[in-house]
Amino acid sequence: MKYKKISLPFDENFISSIQDNTKPTIIVSIFGKSSLASKSCKARFVNEFYDRPIFNSSLVQTTSNSKLQSSIECFYDEPGGIVYLHLTGSFDSHSITQNIDELSTEIEEKGFLRVWSSLKYNYACSLLFLFNVSHILVLTNPVPVFDTSYLSYFKALDCSRSKFLNAIKSTLSKIPNVSTSWLENARLCSPRLLFYYETCPNEFKKKKQSNGPCHPGLKKAEHSLEDQIYCILRKRRIVSNISTHSIFAIPANQEYVFMDDSPDQILDWDEFLTNSLINLCNSSSVEIKDRFIDCGLEEDNVEKDFLNKSHNIKKFLFDHIDVAFKKGFDDNIGRNAITISNYFEAPAFSTWCQVANEMYNLFVVANDLDEEAKIAMETLRSFLDIDTNFSERRCRKVQPIAMAAYQENLPSHYNRNYHDTKVAQALSVFAQHARGPLLDDYIQILVQDCDKFWQSGRQMCETLSLTGNPCTQPLHKGGTVDGPIKEPEQDDNHINRDELLTMEHSSSVMYLSACNCGHKQGTREDPFTIRTANYDFYQIMANDCVCGCLDRINFPVFQPSTQDYRAAQLFAKPPVIAGRKNSAGLLHTPTQMGHTQVLSLGGVFASCHSVDPINEILGEASRNREIPDRQGLTSIELTNMQKNEDTISGNQIVIRVTDTDGDSKEKSLVRQPSTTEYLPGMLHTESPNSLLPQFPSWSLVCLGSSCLYSHNIGLQETQHPGFLNSTAYLLPWDVTVRLEHHPRDRYWNSDKNKINSSPIQRGRKTKGSREFSVKIFIGVEYECPRGHRFMCSAPDKILTTAGNGIVKENGNKVSNSDMPLYFPCPCSSAPLMAQLMRIHVVTPKAPVHVTLNPMVQPDENGGPIFVTGFDTPIELTQSTYWVLRLPYPLDSYFFI
C-alpha cells in the first residue's frame, strides 16, 4: 500500500501493514487556523502534493467532530519516508460553527472564561505532543498576518517543557529501540517552525493558474514578515541563539514564511455555481467560462509542474525536508554556535509509532498520570489561564477580608437568620473586590467557611416554643418540647451531640399571665411543652392564690393502672392551621358559626333535675351542686329557644315536664378509657375515644356566691388585676323561662293548685303554662402577653361603659355568636394579639342549672374542634360565680 492515513493513536494492524518499518522517517506537523470555507482542512497543500484528497477536504468530506476537542490525523508517505500530522480542533472556524449549540450550552452553565480556558488547555496539550514528536512544524493562517495569540502558547510550552522532562524520559525508557541520545534530549530535535499563509495581498496574487514566477514584491513581503516574526519571538524570549534551549527553532539560512499567491480556489461549489449563474443571467460576458478554464490543471506531469515553479509550497517545504534527511537541522547562531553540538535523529517508523502512542497517552489522553506529570499539567494550565490565575490570586486575597467582616461583632451564639445576615454582609464585601471566573467557586468556599465557623460552638438551638419563639440557648441536648421542632442546621461532619451541654430550652421571653381564677398575676417563661403552659404554671400560681382552695370541677384525665404506661402512637395528624394572623379580620365582620378561630359556648342553656321538679321551681326543694343520677327521674330541660322550633321570644327557655321510665330507657354503652396509654396533647374531636391526656389543660373554678359580683361596681382591681379601664364588667343576660307541662303528667295533676296559688308567681298567665325571667352575667375575657385584660361585648367589639360606669350592652351577642380566639389588645404601646383566656359566668338564684359546653375550632377550613372531654355539658350550680380558663396558647395545638 503506497499511501496510508489514520487517526492517532496508532493500532498494531496499521504498524504491521507497513512494509519497511526500519526506514528513517521525517515527521511534519501542520497546525493553525483555517477559514470557514476550508472546513477545518489546513493541509490542502498536502492534497496537492499527491493529487488526492488525503486529509479532510471540503470537496470530499463534510463531516466534523461532534465535540470541540482537538484531534490529530496522520498520513504516511511510505516511499518518501514522510509522516504528516494534521491537527484540527476548536480554533477552526468550521468546528466552532458546527458545534455552536453545544458550545453555547456549556458557556451558559460554566461561563465563557471557563469554557475558553478549557479549550485552550486541550489545544495546548495537543501542541505539546506535536512539538515532542516532530521535526518540522507548519503554522497555517488564512491571511498573511502573524497571529500573536500563539505567543502565549509558545511561552507556556517553553516554560512547562522542563516540568515534563522526567515524565518523558520515564516514558521513553519503557520503549525498545529508543537511542540513548533521544532518551537524554527527550525529543527528536529542536523542531523547525515554518509559517504558511493560504493567501497573499491581492496585488501579489496571480490572476490565473500558471507556472510563471511570482510577483517581485511578494518575496519582499515574505522577508519583511520573517523579520517581524523573528523580532517578536526574540523579544518574548521564545527563541534564542542556541536552538536546544528553545521549544522550537527558526531556520538561520532558509526561508520560513510562505504566502500562497495562487488564485482563489473554489472551495464551495454550490456557492460558486449559484453566483456564476446569477452573473450569467445578468451579463453577456463570458468570464465564467474563462474561470472554469483557469481553475483546471493539466494532468500531465503534475510533479514536474510543482518543481518547475519558482514559487510553490512543495518546493518551499521539501527544501527543509531534504535538509532533514541529509544532515539534520543546525539552527544555532552566534559566535558560540560552532562549539555547541546539535542533536538530530530520524527514527524508524515502527519505533516512532510506539513513541507517538505513548506520548499521545501522556499529553492528550492524560489518564493515570503520576504526581509529577499532574504537577506539570497544572503548570501548563496556569501559564495559559491568565484570567483564571488573576481571579484565583484576587479571590484568595479578598477571602480573609470577607471572613473578617463575617466575624466582626459576633455574639457568643446566634441563630440561622443572624448567620445568614452576616453571610450576606461577607459576600457583599467579597463581591466588591473579587473578580474573574473563579468568583462563584470562592463564594461557595466562603459560605462553607462561614457555616463551619457558625457550627463550631456558636450555633443556637432554635427549637421553637409553643408560641413560635426559638430557643436562645447554645446548641445543646436535653429539654422537652411539644411544639413543631426545628432541627438545627448541620454540616457534612455531623455534630457530636454527646459533647453538647445538657440544659432545658429557653427563649428568654417572659409573659405576664393571671392564675386560673384571675385574682393574681405572675410572670411566666415562654413554654415549650403543653404541661408547662397549661398545668405546671397554674399549679405554681395556685400555691400563692386562693385557686387551690376553691371548689372546682375536675376534667377527665388519664388514670394509669400500671407503672409501665406510655404515650400513644398517633400516626395521623390534623393539617397545620394558620395562627393569630387571621384574627384581625374579625374586627370588621361579625363572627358567625364556622369562621376563623372561634370559641362556641355550645348555646348556653340551663337545666334542672330533681325528684320533685315542681317544688324545686317553687323554691321548696334544696339545691345540689353535684350532678345527680338521672336514671328513673323526671327531668326538666331549659333549652335556648333560638334553636327550637317552638320559639316565642329571642331569649326564652322552655321547661318541659316529662316522664322517664328507668326500665324502658336504653342503657348506652360506655367505653372505658385506656389505663396504659395516654393522649399526648389535648383532647379534640379527632382524638381516639379511648385516650385521655395526662393532665387537664382546662380549668373551671367556683369563686363563691354570686353576690361576689356587683354589676354597679364590676370587677375590682384588687381582686382582678390587669383589667383595662371601663372593661372590667360582666354582661347581663336576661332569659325568659317558660314552663310547659304534659296534661297526663303525674306530678302536674296532683300539684296543679300549688302552682296557681303560689305567692311568688310572676309574669303573665297562659293556659297550661307559667313564665318567669332569670338574669345571668357572662364575661368573655381576653389577655395579652403583657398581662392586659379586657372583656368583649361582641365578636368585634370591646366592652365599654358610660362615664358613670353603667353597662349599656347585654350578653345576647356573646351567647348567640362564636367569639374569636384572638383580638387586638387596645394597649397604647406596640399592639399585641390578646387571647381569649377566661369565661366568667354568674348563675342566677332561680332553681336552674346553667351549663357550659365550650368548643374551640382554630381552623377556618374545618379541622379538629378542641373539647373538654365531658360527654355532656358541664352543669354550674345556682347563685355562684364560675370562671372557665381556656388552654394557653391555643395556636400551638394545631399539630396535636
Q: What is the CATH number of the domain that holds 221?
A: 3.40.50
742 and 784 both lie in a single domain: yes
120 and 229 both lie in a single domain: yes
In this structure, is residue 757 part of a structural domain?
A: yes
Query: What confidence tens digit (pLDDT) does each residue in 444-494 have?
Result: 999 999 999 998 888 888 888 888 888 888 888 877 776 555 554 544 445
Find the mean pLDDT for residues 292-299: 41
Q: What pLDDT is stored for residue 28 in this prediction?
A: 95
In this structure, is residue 231 part of a structural domain?
A: yes
Q: Which three cell numbers mark 548?
A: 387551690
pLDDT band at 606 (very low <50, low <70, confident <90, very high): very low
Alpha-carbon span 298 to 301, nearest angstrom: 8
Q: What pLDDT is stored for residue 741 in this prediction?
A: 63
Alpha-carbon span 260 to 263, nearest angstrom: 9
Alpha-carbon span 458 to 451, nearest angstrom: 10
> 3-state SS of the chain: helix, strand, coil percent to 5?
35, 20, 50
Q: Specify the higher pLDDT residue, 69 or 617.
A: 69
Find the mean pLDDT for residues 16-27: 83
Within 592-631, strands assigned E span: 598-600, 605-609
* Residue ending a domain, choose from 384, 419, 442: 384
Q: State the Cα angle at 455 between 454 and 458, rounded to 5°.
A: 60
**pLDDT for residue 301 is more than 60:** no
**pLDDT for residue 766 is more than 80:** no
pLDDT band at 635 (very low <50, low <70, confident <90, very high): very low
- Picking from 465, 467, 464, the residue whose alpha carbon sits closest to that of residue 890 is 467
pLDDT band at 574 (very low <50, low <70, confident <90, very high): very low
**pLDDT for residue 272 is more than 80:** no
Residue 26's H or E segment, with its range, is strand 26-32
Q: What pLDDT is stored for residue 622 in this prediction?
A: 34
Q: What pLDDT is stored for residue 542 in this prediction?
A: 93
* Residue ending a domain, choose from 329, 361, 384: 384
pLDDT band at 892 (very low <50, low <70, confident <90, very high): low
Q: Which three cell numbers mark 530?
A: 403543653
Alpha-carbon span 106 to 121, nearest angstrom: 16
400 and 258 both lie in a single domain: no
In this structure, is residue 568 part of a structural domain?
A: no
334 and 414 both lie in a single domain: no
In this structure, is residue 205 part of a structural domain?
A: yes
Percent of the chain past pLDDT 70, that is, above it, reads: 75
Q: What pLDDT is stored for residue 628 in this prediction?
A: 35
Buried b (16+ CB within 10 A) or exposed e, 648-673: eeebbbbbbbeeeeeeeeeeeeeeeb
Our count of domains for the chain comes to: 3
Residue 889: asked if its preceding bond is cis (omega within 30°), the reply is: yes
Find the mean pLDDT for residues 729-747: 74
Angle between helix 386-407 and 416-433 (nearest 10): 140
112 and 196 both lie in a single domain: yes
Least confident piece of the model among 422-431, 775-784, 883-892: 883-892
Q: Is-above-0.75 flag for pTM? A: no
Long-range contacts of 110-116 (CB under 8 A, 24+ apart): 111/437, 111/440, 113/387, 113/388, 113/436, 113/437, 114/388, 114/437
723 and 653 both lie in a single domain: yes
Q: How many CB atoms lie within 10 A of CB 129?
A: 24
Q: Which three cell numbers mark 542?
A: 395556685
From the centroid of its chain, how far is CA 305?
71
**pLDDT for residue 530 is more than 50:** yes
**pLDDT for residue 233 is more than 90:** yes
447 and 338 both lie in a single domain: no
* Residue ending a domain, choose from 405, 434, 455: 455
In this structure, is residue 290 part of a structural domain?
A: no
Alpha-carbon span 684 to 894, nearest angstrom: 10
344 and 446 both lie in a single domain: no
The average confidence (pLDDT) of the chain is 78
Radius of gyration of the chain (CA): 51
306 and 204 both lie in a single domain: yes
**pLDDT for residue 113 is more than 70:** yes
76 and 106 both lie in a single domain: yes
Least confident piece of the model among 135-139, 146-150, 574-578, 754-758: 574-578
Query: What confidence tens digit (pLDDT) does each residue in 847-887 have?
Result: 888 899 999 888 777 778 899 989 899 999 999 999 999 99
Q: Give me the domain span that covers residue 617.
A: 597-670+697-895
**pLDDT for residue 291 is more than 60:** no
Alpha-carbon span 449 to 538, nearest angstrom: 47
In this structure, is residue 7 part of a structural domain?
A: yes
- Picking from 27, 782, 704, 118, the residue whose alpha carbon sits closest to that of residue 387 is 118
Query: What confidence tens digit (pLDDT) does each residue in 361-399 have?
Result: 999 988 888 888 899 998 898 888 888 889 999 999 999
In this structure, is residue 486 part of a structural domain?
A: no
759 and 779 both lie in a single domain: yes
Least confident piece of the model among 446-450, 741-745, 781-785: 741-745
Residue 595's alpha-carbon distances to 154, 794, 816, 821, 866, in angstroms, are: 80, 14, 14, 11, 15
335 and 417 both lie in a single domain: no
In this structure, is residue 806 part of a structural domain?
A: yes
Alpha-carbon span 798 to 274, nearest angstrom: 92
Q: What pLDDT is stored for residue 641 in this prediction?
A: 33
Q: Specify the higher pLDDT residue, 274 or 127.
A: 127
DSSP summary character for residue 397 = H
| CA atoms in the 13 A half-sphere facing the CB of 870 | 17
Least confident piece of the model among 258-262, 522-526, 822-826: 258-262
Q: Specify the higher pLDDT residue, 662 or 223.
A: 223
DSSP summary character for residue 555 = P
